[in-house]
Structure 1
Amino acid sequence: MPIEGIFVSGFVNLLFGKMTSFASSKLPTFEGIDTQLTNWTNMLSQIEAFLIDAEEKQLTDRAVNLWLDDLQDLAYDLDDLVDEFATEALQHKLKAKQPQASSSKVWNLIPNFKPRDVLFNFKMKSKIEEINTRLHNSFEQCSKLNLVKIVGTTPTPTTKTWQRPDSTSLFDEPHIYGREYDQRKIIELLVRGDESSHNNIGVIPIVGMGGIGKTTLAQMVYNDETVQKHFDLKAWVCVSDEFNIMRITKAILESVTSQTFSFNNLDQVQVQLKQALAGKKFLIVLDDVWNKKYSDWNVLKKPFNDGAQGSKVVVTTRDREVAGMMTTVELHEVNILSKEDCWSLFAQHAFANTCIDANPKLVSIGKEIVEKCKGLPLAARTLGGLLRSKVRDEEWINVLRSKIWDLPHTKSDILPALRLSYHDLPSHLKQCFAYCSIIPNDYEFEEEELVLLWMAEGFIQQQRDKQMEDVGGEYFRELLSRSFFQPSRTGKSSKFVMHDLINDLAQVVARETCFRLEDILKYPEQCKTIKKARHSSYMREQYEGMKKFEIFNKAMHLRTFLPFNLPSFLPFNLPYGVNCHLASNVPFNLLPKLRRLRVLNMSSYDIIEVPNSVGDLKHLRYLNLSNTNIEELPESLGSLYNLQTLMLRGCRQLKKLPTDLGNLIDLRHLDTTNAHSLKEMPLGIGKLASLQTLSNFIVTKDNGHWLRELGNLIYLRGKLCLSGLQNVVVPLDAREANLNDKKGLDVLSMEWSVNSDDSRDGRVETKVLDMLQPHKNLKELHIEGYLGIGFPNWIGDPLFSNMADLSLDNCGNCVSLPPLGQLPSLKKLYIKGMSVLKHVDHEFYGQGSAKPFQLLETLSFKDMPEWEYWYTFEDDKEVEPFTHVSELSIRSQRSSTIHSCQVSLHNKMSQTS
């Protein structure tokens, strides 16, 4: 019997959206496809009505589980078929816009012409017939399985799923390990005065993943002697996933009064509770809260308001959003146990009946088992309890070698406890989480990295008022809020990880849909189901040949080809810039067989060529070739009309992009960061109206007017570098780039050639820079190689209130600095190579700016050969700039001239430190 079910409804809903989008897309259509789309939608709608019942029964009915398994496979195949039609239609539409040969011109004169590619239609006919047959059979199975139609609502479960046992305020652990700090911290929050002036009640959420020990910590605090004496009344209520206001209020009332009540009216219960709490300092613990409705919380807390000053409510929850909604004091996050504390907790249970010193072999095995627990107290306690009656080495080794999830449910609470979190997820998040099963244990990932993959897999749909990336970010943060992801503890603030047991849970719920190559090689029996697999990953090795990838010949429906790097996995340390070796025949052999790929990652390999067959991957949405040695991309890449993300970071040998790149009208991210050999952009970048990431736009000689193509890219965000600006000879081309409208840009770099050229006109460059004024949201600005004699007025404008980092590099003709002291948020300022600058006067600080450079932390002047004078307000005690500067670097050939200013600044720094 499966230990977790399949949830198909989320994918089916996405499929409805795709078919509807295609039907209304105004793309050229094929004979009969409109009828087919209608038939498929109607049939799926009928099947969908059975899904709620099926997904509830699957845990106990194997036949239903297998039906859902087949339906999921069918939904994937239907999705691929619809995608083929949409892609073919898009190709016809694009070709119709291009200049046609004379023999084709007659076709364009027929307004309602529907392209009928004989070969394509013949190929699709058999696929359509197969899908129709499978859909019909799937629908017929519904009645045979006695499934009930349920539309528009979630029923009362017909099958009892696992419920978290009710908690109580009592705990029976002989000793609690690793929670001394947490206990002290929460007690301090409980007994100190209330911070809220408008409310007597302080709410303290305890947050963490399932099994982390939130309830145990709350029990410790609840029973602490200091807490006992501090509060007049106490109550403990296990809330769990059903937030029944009547039940919770009544439980609190009976707890604080030690009486039983038979009220069935919420108003009566709340009035009684209000009277019981009035004027009393109370502590209420609400254990295991899931409800996010602010209105419910507002109703529940009404009787609390008459309590005495200093009354507290402690809430335990897995969800940060719940915590954020309820908190008034301070959120307390519970972290995993240290390895030593986890071992102590395990040993407390495992060796309760024996002497630990008498079993050195079991101790050795036990410490390896504890490694599997990864600091999760529930796992340590459960496995320790499971082994306390076992004394033979073989029994402990069996647990060590077995995945924790393989333990019988009757003996392990780990899976049910964590599965409850998964069961509570909405369907669209279930498939996003299940997809994470291909992420290796301990792999550190970024939000953007995962969101782009979800987008490519079709898990996120464009919404009318939101970009897909923003919707995906909301999905990510929701899973983070619910503790499925955790911030990395390696000090990288933008990195996240999955706890090993959460990762195992993802593998359980993903089942045959996802696989890791290492697991298949380790357990060959899993190859039987690989034909249904859609998503795969593997760990890179130093040398890889075709033999490693032979298994992919059986995974013909694969959508995801995703390698990962883990430093701890590799038995070697690769020097920077040295990639893993991939046999040259691997991509040439693999790609023609994996025609359904949507994600292809071949980054960090030493490949020098991409097969032309990549252009046949019509479904491809994500292509990552970063840090490879490729010199050019095949022109066939221009036919990947569905491509959303093209990653070329660190492709240092790459010299050109495909000529037809402008055909990729769905492209949203083109990252060529550090592709230093790339010298030009192909014509047609302006057609990529969905583009958000364009790391570098290169202007070359005789095509300076191409800069105006940026005007169409209204969704650009993040970082943008404009290089080769010395080639812009008509300033109006810069104006038409419309940088001022691009609200999403955070970082802007403008680069002119650092090599001086007598033909360059400083007046033109000044006008170009003026015309390239960005939006006021900009956070960083970097200007390099500019040869105008001054700066436009927008540089230093205080309306750029977010500008925190600014650098002026090798602006060799500028005789003065802009009024940068007016930028209210500026923290870092770097000025270098101002070779003719002699004076830094009042203008640098800004006219009328009473407190210039108040937030500046880093100030650097380098390579200023003519610098003679710097006004530092030495005699004006009312104006004190640079009061927060902690890093000061001043290097100039005329060091004696600047010395007094430098001493003055150092004195200011020492006075304010």
Structure 2
Amino acid sequence: MAEAIISGVLQQLISIIVEEAKQKVKLVVGIDNEVKKLSSNLEAIQAVLVDAEERQVKEKTVELWLDRLKQASYNIEDVLGEWNYAILKQKIEGVDDATVPKKKKVCFFFPSSCFSFKQVSLRKDIAIKIKEVNDNLDDIAKQKEMYGFNAIRKAEKLERVQTTSFIDVSEICGQDDCKSILIHKLCASSEQHLPIISLTGMGGIGKTTLAQFAYNHDMVINSFNKRIWVCVSEPFDEYRIAKAIIESLGGSTKDLSELQSLHQHISTLIQRNTFFLVLDDVWTEDYKKWEPLYRCLMNGVHGSKILVTTRKESVAKKMGSIDIINVQGLSDDECWLLFKRIAFFGRPFEECERLEEIGKKISGKCKGLPLAAKTLGSLLRFKKRWEEWKRILGSKLWKLEEIEEDVFQPLLLSYNDLPYTIKRCFLYCAIFPKDYGLGKNELIKLWMAQGYVKEEEDKAMEIVGEEYFDCLASRSLFQEFRKDDENNVIGCKMHDLVHDFAQFLNKNECVHIEVDDSKEPLLNSFNSEKVCHVMITVCDEDLFPDSIFSLRKMHSFLCNKNDIRYSLPFNILPKLFGELTCLRALSFSPGYMESLSEDIPKEVGKLMHLRYLNLSGLGMRKLPGALCDKLGNVLDVEKVKRSEIKNQKSLIGLLLNFEKKVDGRERRNEEDEVLLEILQPSLNLEKLRIWSYRGNTILPNWMLSLTKLRHLILNGCSNCKYLPPLGELPSLEYLNIREMDSLKSVSNEFLRKENDGTSSSSVFFPKLKRIEFWSMLEWEEWDYEITRIGEKEEAMDTMSDLTELGRTPVAVISAGVKSILDIPRIPVHFQYL
């Protein structure tokens, strides 16, 4: 963890120095020696951190030294963040002399009234803080000499992994006896009215995977009318569990706030049904929490079953299990089979043969744990040289007895092999509760807000963040991937043991807590100097933990709701903005939260480090004007012209929504056409969505210049009678056209512009993989004709990359189209409305 932070701080310091050099103006004068000393100390400490982090597990004094180093590093990050902010402010305001303050007050994204401090005062403050953090780091650097650390450096190059290379490891290797016994017990008749069967065993042994196998087995599906899956985890939340059961049964929890009413609704829904309920990852031994739910489940038809997975056999006994199946580890052969399937994926036969002997020795260290085999297999899949495999086999981490779980040893090996940038991204995930559905895009934005993701060469930060996500997924540190209609990964979960491992490493720097009347003291139990990232889940109405405001060093605050209607106390936002000034990310989840004010408080101006602000869950309607000006208002043509979206080189996704009215009236068609022409994006754009456009044509001069555009949606372009010549877009992979109500016919204009004699291309939609048309109610004909170039007849190559994904055709037409003529190689599926 310390290695990741120090490396990030060094990168941040270097970028600030480079930025000052670019501007040829020094913001903070007289600190050159301090900066050199700071950089030198950081580099010296960085050189020994690999050894220090391996030793901290067995040596308490090393652990304490690293803790002190981490806190110092966070303080340095804050100071560097202020310095970077001041440089950017100087750049915006056009200051050309670092020693002369600017008299004119200029907005910097927030209203100018937010900034009462003077430029000179800010510079002096930064200089003082740099001296303070440097003195502290100097002392820490001197302390390291007493430990005799070895200087160990490793390559930080990231193996680029494409999403398509993910391996499906959901199939169970071995456990044949457990599988057959479990299926038999679930499908056989029982004298007990509602029997409970339990799978017990240590973390990572495969309990959840076995439960999933049973849940989806044909015999089980055919044996029950209803199947319900609930991840219980810790704590045992009776309300959340009851609501999850109701939703799985197709019921609604609206207006059900009391536990008694929830249980009564469950009882009603299951009567006259045989059901199979899986309660995964149960921890509580408190029978009083379990008994009321069990009683209401008794209303189901005889033959219903409950399956529980738990690490603790005592939990299974407390819940009244009639059968307890203790899940054992894989045999050596089964463990090797699983390990080999992942580690040797895609390798040449000769390479596999050369690595087989050492591979068996490594898989033997997994102690039969499937998660360990998956993790090590995923790690070694990227190691080509025998020497790299030998280093893993001989690692000192195998000998660490103090590690809490055996499976943490292979996880540590995989973690230590990550580049420092991705280590921080992984550890950040401990902020979320167990079994939390991680949204890929949201997670990447949060990483970016913390400065964990930087632009690389010509790659935007979002692309780099996707590569980091793919790297963690390929190492089996993420699982249960959610995908969209285009088969792109949009979310995932962490195995509960991997989550435990992340918490074990960050030592309460990332904290999740459920807030109700009984949980308030827990926040006070954390060391306020160590907590950096907090997510709270609000379980009761009108509750907000005052102890949050004691965590002054907090970098992330994410507020989640637990399916309740929640009103945020009116004074909370000003207090958050005014006191938690180190925040990089602040988010209130969408849903049931409400704010008593429509405006963002002016105190937001104090959050100079803030990079991610999500208040969508509060229903706010007004943003400070200066906060919005940079994005431009599509109702004001002059503002749009000044916005120069085309210069935003990092912009890779854009939604243009033309729904709004101007002064209460509908815009004219030609106004939309003018706006669309002005809203020219960067040529780096990869995704474009256009909604509710009223123009008669949809072909701005810039559209066919988007050579990197992969994803295009045209939704509700109701006045367009013709499709634009999208066939000329060389990178387009996905096209979705909806509700184009005036379109009646599609012909060659869909492929290219009218031939002006200068183009000889006969290849159209060269990379298109999926095309969809929905609700095209007036569309009657799709007809391609053979055309000529001069005297020469042209043979067209159209949509040659269209393929079928599974059983789903990639060309989907939902309309009343009456004829489709001469469209080669396109599998088409009709859905008539």
Q: Tell me the CA shift for residue 86 of structure 1.
A: 1.4
Q: d(CA) in 2 for partners of 1:303 and 1:610? A: 60
State the distance in 2 between where 1:51 and 1:150 align: 8
Instruction: Please report the TM-score for the alignment, with normalisation by the length of structure 2.
Output: 0.59
| Contact 1:451–1:473 (8 Å) recurs in 2 | yes
1:138 matched residue in structure 2: 140
Tell me by how many angstroms 1:612 deviates. Answer: 1.0
* Residue 606 (1) aligns with residue 608 (2): no
Q: What is the match of residue 22 of structure 1?
A: 16
The answer to whether the Cα contact below 8 Å between 1:720 and 1:745 also exists between their aligned partners in 2 is no
Matched-pair contact (CA < 8 Å) for 2:784–2:823: no
Report if aligned partners of 2:47, 2:152 keep a CA contact under 8 Å in 1.
yes
Alignment match of 2:84 (pick from 83, 86, 97) = 86
Distance in 2 between residues matched to 1:606 and 1:317, nearest whole Å: 44
Aligned to 2:620: 630
Distance in 2 between the 1:487 and 1:284 partners? 21
Of 594, 598, 614 in structure 1, the residue corresponding to residue 580 of structure 2 is 594
In 1: Cα distance, 2:677 partner to 2:600 partner: 38
* Closer, same or farther: CA 889–174 of 1 in aligned 2, 3 Å: closer
Match of residue 454, structure 1, among 447, 452, 477: 447
Q: Structure 1 residues 44, 833: CA separation in 2 closer, same or farther (over 3 Å shift)? A: same
Relative to 1, partners in 2 of residues 1:45 and 1:791: Cα closer, same or farther, differing over 3 Å?
A: closer
- How many residue pairs match? The answer is 583
Match of 1:502 in 2: 498
Partner Cα distance (2:132, 2:69) in 1: 14
1:564 matched to 2:560: yes
1:88-237 mapped onto 2 (5 Å cutoff): 88-96=86-94, 117-143=119-145, 145-150=146-151, 152=153, 176-178=177-179, 211-212=205-206
Q: Label 1:886 to 1:323 Cα distance change in 2 as closer, same or farther (>3 A).
A: farther
Q: 1:795–1:135: structure 2 CA closer, same or farther, 3 Å change rule?
A: closer
1:495 match: secondary structure: strand
DSSP-derived class of the 1:301 partner:
helix
Report the alpha carbon displacement of residue 121 of structure 1 after superposing the two structures with TM.
3.8
CA distance in 2, matches of 1:542, 1:525: 16
SS class of match (1:12): helix
Q: CA deviation at 1:736?
A: 6.3
Deviation at 1:517, TM superposition (A): 3.3
Distance in 2, matches of 1:436 and 1:60, equals: 25
Equivalent-residue separation in structure 2 for 1:63 and 1:325 (angstroms): 35
Residue 622 of structure 1: CA displacement?
0.8
Instruction: Give the aligned partner of residue 653 of structure 2.
Output: 718
Structure 1 contact 817–843 (Cα < 8 Å) conserved: yes
| Cα deviation, residue 802, structure 1 | 2.5
- The answer as to whether partners of 1:856 and 1:882 remain within 8 angstroms in 2 is no
Q: Do structure 1's residue 775 and structure 2's residue 719 form an aligned pair?
A: no
Matches within 5 A, 1:348-367: none
Contact 2:574 2:601 in 1 (8 A): yes
User: RMSD of aligned C-alpha atoms?
Assistant: 4.9
Higher relative contact order (CA 8 A, sep 6+): 2
1:624 and 1:840, CA in 2 relative to 1: closer, same or farther beyond 3 A?
same
Displacement of 1:803 in angstroms is 4.2
- SS of the aligned residue for 1:477 comes to helix
Change (3 A) 1:810 1:97: farther
Quote how far apart the aligned CAs of 1:594 are.
0.3
User: CA-to-partner distance for each residue in 1:583-606, whole Å, 9 max, x for gaps?
Assistant: 111112222110100010123321
Matched residue, 1:615: 605
Secondary structure of the residue aligned to 1:80 is helix
Measured in 2, the distance between the counterparts of 1:466 and 1:598 equals 22
How has the CA–CA distance of structure 1 residues 79 and 889 changed in structure 2, closer, same or farther, with 3 Å as cutoff?
A: same
1:301 maps to 353
Specify the alignment match of 2:194 in structure 1: none
Q: 1:107 to 1:512 in 2, by over 3 A?
A: closer
Match of 2:569 in 1: 583
How many angstroms apart in 2 are the aligned matches of 1:31 and 1:623?
A: 33
Tell me by how many angstroms 1:718 deviates: 3.4
Equivalent in the alignment of 2:329 = none
- Name the structure 2 match of 1:543: 541
Distance apart, 1:749 and its partner CA: 1.4
**How far does the alpha carbon of each residue in 1:284-319 deviate from its partner, in whole angstroms, 9 at most, with x for none?**
957857979999985563699xxxxxxxxxx95425
Structure 1 residues 844 and 71: CA distance shift in structure 2, 3 A: same
Please name the residue that 1:811 is paired with.
742
Please report how far the alpha carbon of residue 43 of structure 1 lies from its aligned counterpart in structure 2 after TM superposition: 1.9
Amino acid paired to 1:887: F
State the match for 1:463 in structure 2: 456
Q: Output the amino acid matched with 1:133.
A: D
Computing the radius of gyration over CA atoms, which structure comes out larger, 1 or 2?
1
Compared with structure 1, are the counterparts of its residues 297 and 736 closer, same or farther at alpha carbon in structure 2 (3 Å cutoff)? farther
Aligned to 1:830: 774
Kindly provide the CA deviation profile for residues 318-356 of structure 1, in whole angstroms up to 9, marking residues without a partner as x. 2575686799xxxxxxxxxxxxxxxxxxxxxxxxxxxxx
Alpha carbons of 1:530 and 1:322: their partners in 2 closer, same or farther (altered >3 Å)? closer
**Cα distance in 1, alignment partners of residues 92 and 144 from structure 2:** 43
> Residue 150 of structure 1: CA displacement?
1.6
1:63 matched residue in structure 2: 61
Unpaired stretches in structure 2, ≥5 consecutive residues = 107-116, 156-173, 184-202, 211-332, 357-369, 385-400, 660-666, 752-763, 789-794, 803-808
> In the TM superposition, what is the alpha-carbon distance from 1:458 to its structure 2 partner?
1.8
Q: Deviations over 1:791-822 (max 9, x none)?
A: 55x1455867624422352337x787665597
Identity %: 21
CA contact (8 A) 2:534 2:556 kept: yes
Q: CA deviation at 1:423?
A: 4.4
1:338-396 per-position Cα deviation (integer Å, ceiling 9, x unaligned): xxxxxxxxxxxxxxxxxxxxxxxxxxxxxxxxxxxxxxxxxxxxxxxxxxxxxxxxxxx
Deviation at 1:516, TM superposition (A): 2.3
Structure 1: gaps (5+ residues): 1-6, 109-114, 155-172, 183-208, 217-281, 305-314, 328-407, 639-657, 663-680, 683-697, 754-761, 865-869, 874-878, 891-913
Check the 8 A contact 1:541/1:580 in 2, yes or no.
no
Does the alignment pair 1:699 with 2:649?
Answer: no
Q: Does residue 735 of structure 2 align to residue 745 of structure 1?
A: no
The corresponding residue for 1:709 is 644
Q: Deviations over 1:209-252 (max 9, x none)?
A: 954499x9xxxxxxxxxxxxxxxxxxxxxxxxxxxxxxxxxxxx
2-side partners of 1:44 and 1:784: how far apart? 56
- Shift of the 213–582 alpha-carbon distance from structure 1 to 2, 3 Å rule, reads closer
Q: Is the Cα–Cα contact under 8 Å of residues 211 and 414 in structure 1 kept in the other structure?
A: no
Distance 1:817 1:322 in 2: 51
- Equivalent residue number for residue 430 of structure 2: 437
Instruction: Quote the Cα distance in structure 2 between the aligned partners of 1:303 and 1:139.
Output: 41
- Contact in 2 for aligned 1:486/1:497 (Cα 8 Å): yes
CA distance in 1: counterparts of 2:620 and 2:582, whole angstroms: 24
